[in-house]
């Protein structure tokens, strides 16, 4: 899924594919981020 080349030929499908890839990367990167708690 995280391929640098877009597999689909239709422009709208390519946009959707790119957004899905970015969403997946954000989810993966989010797991490594520490949870911060607000301190007063």
Average pLDDT value for residue range 8-34: 81
Instruction: Please tell me the least confidently modeled range out of 4-8, 15-19, 25-29.
Output: 4-8
Average pLDDT value for residue range 2-16: 72
Q: What is the token pair recorded at 36?
A: 């911060």
Q: Which of 1, 40, 36 is nearest to 22 (CA)?
A: 1
**Would you state the pLDDT for residue 15?**
85
Q: What is the pTM of this model?
A: 0.56
In this prediction, residue 12 has a pLDDT band, given cuts at 50, 70 and 90, of confident
The three-point CA angle 22-29-13 to 5° equals 10
Distance CA 1, CA 17 (A): 9
Percentage of the chain exceeding pLDDT 70: 57
Q: Which of 31, 28, 14 is nearest to 4 (CA)?
A: 14
In this structure, are residues 17 and 8 in contact, taking their beta carbons and an 8 Å threshold? yes
């Amino acid at each position: 899924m995280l391929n640098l080349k877009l597999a689909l030929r239709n422009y709208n499908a390519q946009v959707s594919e790119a957004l899905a890839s970015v969403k997946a990367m954000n989810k993966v990167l989010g797991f490594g981020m520490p949870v911060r708690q607000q301190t007063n």
